[in-house]
Structure 1
Amino acid sequence: MQAKETLFADLVQGRAQQFQVPLYQRTYSWTEKQLAQLWSDILEQADLLESGEKANTHFLGSVVLAPSPQNEPTFPRWLVVDGQQRLTTLSLALAAIRDHIADAEPDEAERIDEEYLINKRKSGSDHFRLLPTQADRAQFAAFVRGPLSEQAAGGAVAAAYGFFRRELVAAADPAAPQDVFCIEQAITSRLTLVAVTAERGDNVHRIFESLNNTGLKLSQADLLRNYLFMKLRAHGEHVYETYWLPLQDSLSNDELEQLMWLQLVLDGDDRVRRQDLYAAQQQRFEHGGASQPEIEADIEAYIRELYRRGALFRRLLHPEEEPDEAVRAHLRRLDTWQAQVTYPALMLLLDRRERGELDSSDTARAMSYIESFLVRRMMCRVPTNNLNRIFQAVPGQLPLDVHIADGLQRLLSAENRFWPDDDELREKIQKAPFYKYGRPDQRKMVLQRLEESYEHPEPVDFTAAQLTIEHVMPQSPGDEWIRMLREDADDGENAEDLHSRLQHTLGNLTLTAINSELSNHPFERKQDLLQGSHLEMNRRIAATERWGVKEIRARADELADRAIALWPAPLRGVGRAERSRDWHLAHQVLAALPHGTWTSYGDLAAFIGSGAQAVGNHLANTPGVANAYRVLTSEGRVSDGFRWTSQDAGEDVRTRLAADGVRFAANGAADPDQRLSADDLALLVAGTDDDQAAGADTAQHTPDSQGEETRSDRFFRQLAADDSPETVEAVRALFTQWEELGGWIGHGAGQVTTSAFLMLGESGAPGQGIWSLTLYPGWGRGGTAEVVFRYLATRAPFTDRTLRAELLKRLNELNGVDIPEGKLELRPSFRLSVLEKDRDRELLVETLTWFRDHWASRNTD
């Protein structure tokens, strides 16, 4: 047996060879969680390559190889005993890079193919350098060989390839473009592997077992603590009791590790990674052949400083410990924002204040620039992928010739920081779908600050008030709303497109504690309810005679004035919004379109805050946009103005769409069930921490209360107002059967109207349960059951895509349910009226029983 450190390029490059995954190995199973972590490591290494810095490579893990029985002297074949998940993932990442650059750099794409993916002069299965296990082989081959075929749809291999395709588009962000060839080099030459090569006769399974003998991994903080006190021979006990033990008692191990990392950053190391903390600090203590007494003195000073800064760090974690009111308010908002990325800058400010270099007033002013930087970027939809680098560099880049607060404003105002100016902020408030960007708490905080700007003499206690975001013009408009929108629609735009474009803009949003009462009522009814609100912004809405396009835009202008006053602008103009940034967002979401789906020009326009005509013109004149041919008219037809801008020119569009799983009716229109709305598109590039997930995770049993309508009562009242008695009774029967299966019904707060979650797990234990369906009243269109595939993808055991696909298959057995596979990453729904038939309800209960059993077995597999 031989073991040596190697790189992916050294392992697979060179003469023709093949790595075969044995049949007994499990199928490819990496989920987005593992892919995202790997991608983060790759980008980090790519950044180091771009900057020219010398740094440690990233250790990826081991690969255990054994000679294959099919080995030939001229064509080596290796069995992959361990490491197939890593090799498959890296191969798919390189295939995605090859396809990403194919139009612009065909020669480079061919080079990647020949160096890492194929054996050019071999045919059949020998053509591939990596040959996965049988179950994954056809799909893997489809992505490596191309062009893609229908067998490439679905599965973990397809999901991984799709992940890399869309992340490559995101990495080309004009705000901070990353060199795709540096990404390639990071994959092939910066990720190290330990290759264990067995000889014939070696027990490769024993090798595999020894490598996978798991234990509790020591953290960077553990390693550094052990090193520090091993070196402290003279005063170790005193230092431990005086400084270390109180520090360790005040912070968790993870928080302590974060503080240690921040200490390095504050001391000027703006490139250190948390996973390199131990090595970086050890190197500092042992520089230049220092003597033992000098090392001990340095370590004691380091721990004393860590102890001092620990008290400051706690104020970031617990803002209530900050004594100054203005600084405390900023820390609370940044904590609500979940702005851990800003900790290097915040620690710098608190540290300088404690040293007497600035007072609390200037500290608060500097924090207002940080808050504005984050808020304006979120409202203007500037990607967050570069924030770590921006704030980690603050301590080392802060100008020395100006006041600290002014220097921070100057630093964040640099053009490559993309702090939006007043013009860009106003434009995005008017047009961008604010409700579909950022986290729920971030959106709520923006509206809360805008309400506070009215300086009402009796302000609302926001900590006590149960406020949620309300769409004044509802997300599911009734006939009266549609009639009004038709009156306001311009030529060439229908009421539905206008609604899609305006519903999520800031001008149409407010805060309220009576979402369910407001519901989807006509505006006249909402006026009466909003008039009695304690919020000034609601009383102003109530004072408006109607609520159409003109009124929404007027309110957007008013809120833009307030936002500009609340959140300071950068020092010098960074220019108006680059349209390329919006188009980059469009490219990113198109690259993420699942197999078997399409979208319309109007949907894409609503998603980015543009117009359908502008979207059409851009796609017709921009080469290299992934999946541009899958943007159709609202009727599901290929636009008359569509033309290929790439090497696919001349191919029939409908043939290509059919190969992508898009179905067509006899009249030539694409299947409307496969269409992705603007809201669906937002889900494709968003995280999973939105209002729906939060509502279910905090859902609880709703016990009866004397003289007061419960959430359960309200749910059925709203359902009965819109659905037949048969549907209502069918839903009641379903709930009873679900409880008999050991589940419970949760009614979450914070929805536009009430809703019902079919929950498993302990009530009142956020994040510990799971739910398969969310039921909503119909609001004039019939109640629906939403299948939360998107959230199941993050919850064991349904991180396994094959289980989610099985759930979809079972649901589609219900008469009237036909969910396309392309919506397996989204939140598709079906009508509750299908449950009126006993057989369909029985099928659903059987499916829910299957769901329960798989969840119950998650820890025993």
Structure 2
Amino acid sequence: MIQDVKAFPVSFYFNPDAATSFFIPKYQREYVWGWSNWDALFNDLDESPSGHFLGSIICVNGQKDSMAGGKLELIDGQQRFTTISLLFCALYDKLKTNPEPDDDFNVEMVNLKNRIFIKANNQWRFEPSEQMQNKADFQRILSELFPKLVTAPKGLANFGNRRIAKAYKYFRERLAPLTISQAVALLEKLKSAILVKIEVQSHSDAFMLFESINNRGIPLSAIDIIKNNLLAELDKRPDYGIDRAFDEWKDLIELLPDPVVQERFLRQLYNVFNYLKRVEARGCSRATRSNLITIYDTLLRKRPVWLFHALQSQGKIYSALLNPAAAKDQWSEVTAANLQDLQRLGAAPAYAFLLWVSQVARSQVWDESKALSQMAWLLTKWFFWRNLTDMPPTRELDPMFVELIGELLQEMRSQSIAKLDEFVKHASDWLLARAAPEDVCDARLKGNVYLDNYESTRFMLCKLEEMHQTRENKRDLWAHDTNDRPVFTVEHILPKTENLGPGWVAMLEFNSKGTADAIRQRCAHQLGNLTLSGYNSKLGTMEFMKKRDRQNDKGDFIGYRNGLYLNADLAQRTEWNEAAMTARTDKMLKEVKSILSLRSNS
């Protein structure tokens, strides 16, 4: 895994007599260090004795001796190397103002130039990332310092507002009040500062080290490493090239911008299609976080172009599964709505199966929109009960869907499944056999559902309300405010807090004194005591009748006479006690099951 670990001074990496250079591939992330990082580095060098430790770097090295020459890909250490290079440039800018340079000083200046450039060919010692114009901004700085060696880039609008320019400006300003001898002393400290170089042979090895290395660097994700390796392979293809590959990669990332979703997509894509020989990576039956890079390195070595096209086409489908607007454009409004419901339940493991369903529907010439719509609604119901009962446990979900795919494949190959309806029915029966028993589901619905699973509780209340909405009274129950908080939240009719007011105590106890708090503890979190409100904080612990008739300053009802179906029976009541809560729980339980049940006889 690790070829070599050695501590070297900065002068070793930026050796004026060596030919080794370091580069950040254009498809890596941008330079992100800011003022606090620059300030800490400068102060550490200035205040510490010679040999200050700067951290570690990781580079991929296919050579026997990484310092013997050649270009090394810097996997971890971009932030430090970029900053060190900018500090070298700022020091050169400062020292060239020496009015009385002697021979030794002139040699030092030549060496400093050759730390920035390779002496033999005047190529840059270090090439920053091309992201966010990092490389072009660095080129501008070099062109101002060394106009005979570097041509100024064109069209660099807002140069001074970007990090490379700001870092260079910061160091120049810190160096400005120093004398020449003080600047030379700082240069010596920079050259003697220590960086630990960790050499590895592959990108996969590099990624595994990130788990155990903690320094000032910005660690890369699995998607970064896979991207680097994939685009490096495509760069070798004369019919593809890095520019085209990079542009197409950006399109893929725009479809799946969240790194967590990107990694999940790569895992799920492999797990549901690795029964195909062209997809299988030998020895990897299932993709996990630890072997993900190894899997994709194996695949891209065999078919990099095919793999990239597969990622693009499947990534577009995966993105649409997660994005209601895209789903509506690609399939239908009904499909988009069902996928939206599934997403609200946090059913991440389901997307692996839906990705496969999409592929099957197209290969079988079924109606893809209908197939996804029916499956999304089936999975919505299944995940609702799974989340409510925690059966099966989370750790079993990913392998369970892989098993379901294997079962359906077997049935299709044996001709037991030929039509979409048969496909859906078989999947439904299979999932039902792994769902919680009906008595367990009923017990959860009659219990403290609010405490057991808030999100499932809010979901079922929203579904109950949505089923009774019309075009005239439709409200967006999933809307968020300007702070990205849900507008409609779960409201306890009987307050859940202790120390109930005298009105509540009198209503609950009736002829049984001292029972109010026991009733609250038994009933407060039950389904029958819950509703939806966009004004939860304005209702709070006030008495029932005040909650029922509450209005805002405009005279609009914001209490239980607000027109919601869930509040229709509450709007006419004058009391709220244990009997009322129990009766409402039984009624709502039946309605929930009529909408979300997996069992047709419910």
- How high is the TM-score relative to the length of structure 1? 0.37
Aligned length: 350
- 1:500 Cα deviation from its structure 2 partner: 0.6
- The one-letter code of the counterpart of 2:477 is F
User: Which amino acid in 1 is paired with 2:223?
Assistant: A
The residue that corresponds to 2:474 in the other structure is 459
Give the alignment partner of residue 443 of structure 2, picking from 427, 434, 445.
Answer: 427
Which position in structure 2 is the counterpart of 1:386? Answer: 396
CA RMSD after TM alignment: 3.4
Aligned equivalent of 1:217, options 216, 219, 222 = 219
- Give 1:486 shift: 3.1
Q: CA deviation at 1:332?
A: 1.6
Aligned to 2:324: 319
Distance in structure 2 (CA, Å) of the matches to 1:540 and 1:572 = 27
Rounded to whole Å, the distance in 2 between the matches of 1:489 and 1:306 is 67
What secondary structure, in the 3-state scheme, does the structure 2 residue paired with 1:475 have? coil
- Per-residue displacement from partner, 1:227-246 (whole Å, max 9, x unpaired)? 33444433341862674342
Q: Separation in 2 of the partners of 1:524 and 1:215? A: 60
Show structure 2 runs of 5+ residues with no match.
5-211, 276-284, 481-486, 551-558
Structure 2 vs 1, CA of residues 263 and 362 (structure 1 numbering), >3 Å: closer, same or farther?
A: closer
Alpha carbons of 1:211 and 1:560: their partners in 2 closer, same or farther (altered >3 Å)?
closer
User: Does the Cα contact within 8 Å between 2:358 and 2:368 map onto a contact in 1?
Assistant: no
The one-letter amino acid paired with 2:384 is V
Q: Which has the higher contact order (CA 8 A, sep 6+)?
A: 2
The aligned counterpart of 2:435 is 418
SS in 2 for 1:481: helix
Q: Offset of 1:273 from its aligned partner? A: 0.6
**1:334 — aligned with what?**
342
Q: Secondary structure at the match of 2:531?
A: strand
Preserved CA contact (<8 Å) 1:266 1:344: yes
Cα distance in 2 for partners of 1:332, 1:267 equals 25
Structure 2 CA distance for aligned equivalents of residues 488 and 418 of structure 1 = 44
Q: Are the counterparts in 1 of residues 353 and 405 from structure 2 also a CA contact under 8 Å? A: yes
1:448 paired to 2:462: yes
Change (3 A) 1:567 1:499: same
Q: Match for residue 406 of structure 1?
A: 425
Q: Is the 8 A contact 1:373 1:419 kept in 2?
A: no
Distance 1:557 1:212, change over 3 A: closer
Measure the CA separation in 2 of the matches of 1:572 and 1:302: 46
The answer to whether structure 1 residue 470 and structure 2 residue 524 are counterparts is: no
* Equivalent in the alignment of 2:122: none
| Map of 2:269 onto structure 1 | 263
1:363 aligns with 2:372: yes
Per-residue CA deviations over 1:783-816 (Å, capped at 9, x if unaligned) read: xxxxxxxxxxxxxxxxxxxxxxxxxxxxxxxxxx
Q: After superposition, give the CA deviation of every residue in 1:11-32 in whole Å (9 maximum; x if it has no partner).
A: xxxxxxxxxxxxxxxxxxxxxx
Which residue of the partner structure matches residue 287 of structure 2? 272
- The AA in structure 2 aligned to 1:454 is H
Q: What is the alpha-carbon distance in structure 2 between the residues aligned to residue 359 and residue 404 of structure 1?
A: 13
Structure 1: distance between partners of 2:395 and 2:512? 37
User: Are 1:434 and 1:505, in contact at CA under 8 Å, matched by a contact in 2?
Assistant: yes
Partner secondary structure for residue 311 of structure 1: helix
Correspondence for 2:573: 544
Paired residues of 1:420 and 1:569 also in contact (CA < 8 A): no
Shift of 1:464: 4.8
Distance 1:386 1:498 in 2: 38
Whole-angstrom distance in 2 between the partners of 1:392 and 1:508: 40
2:253 to 242, 248, 251: 248
Tell me how far 1:363 sits from its aligned partner: 2.1
Q: Give the match for residue 616 of structure 1.
A: none
Evaluate the alpha carbon distance shift between residue 256 and residue 429 of structure 1 in structure 2; reply closer, same or farther with a 3 A threshold.
closer
Q: Distance in 2 between matches of 1:518 and 1:253?
A: 37
Please report the TM-score for the alignment, with normalisation by the length of structure 2: 0.52
Distance 1:228 1:253, change over 3 A: farther
Query: Hey, what's the Cα distance between the residues in 2 that align with 1:302 and 1:534?
Result: 54
Q: Alpha-carbon deviation of 1:507?
A: 0.8
User: In the alignment, is residue 348 of structure 1 matched against residue 356 of structure 2?
Assistant: yes
Partner residue in 2 for 1:485: 508
- Of 394, 406, 418 in structure 2, the residue corresponding to residue 396 of structure 1 is 406
Secondary structure of 1:322's counterpart equals helix
- Cα distance between partner residues in 1 of 2:560 and 2:258: 50
**Deviation (angstroms), 1:303:** 1.3
Change (3 A) 1:377 1:489: farther
Counterpart position of 1:567: 596
Distance (whole Å) between structure 2 residues aligned to residue 488 and residue 338 of structure 1 = 46
**Aligned mates of 2:508, 2:390 — CA distance in 1:** 27
Partner SS, residue 251 of structure 2 = helix
Tell me, yes or no, if structure 1 residue 554 matches structure 2 residue 583: yes
**Paired residues of 2:339 and 2:377 also in contact (CA < 8 A):** no
Equivalent position SS for 2:491: strand
Distance 1:508 1:572 in 2: 27
Distance apart, 1:537 and its partner CA: 1.4
For 1:393 and 1:424, the matched residues in 2 are separated by 24
CA contact under 8 A between 1:319 and 1:332: conserved in structure 2?
yes
- For 2:522, the equivalent position in structure 1 comes to 501
Q: Secondary structure at the match of 1:510?
A: strand
* SS, match of residue 252 in structure 1: coil
Inter-partner Cα distance in structure 2 for 1:496 and 1:334: 37
Q: Displacement, 1:505? A: 0.8
For residues 221 and 499 of structure 1, do their structure 2 counterparts lie closer, same or farther at Cα, with a shift above 3 Å needed?
same
What is the SS of the residue equivalent to 2:290?
helix
Structure 1: tracts of 5 or more residues without a match: 5-209, 287-294, 574-861
Q: Which amino acid aligns with 1:418?
A: A
Q: Secondary structure of the equivalent of 2:494?
A: coil
SS for the counterpart of 1:368 is helix
2:65 corresponds to: none
Q: How does 1:710-729 map to 2 (within 5 A)?
A: none
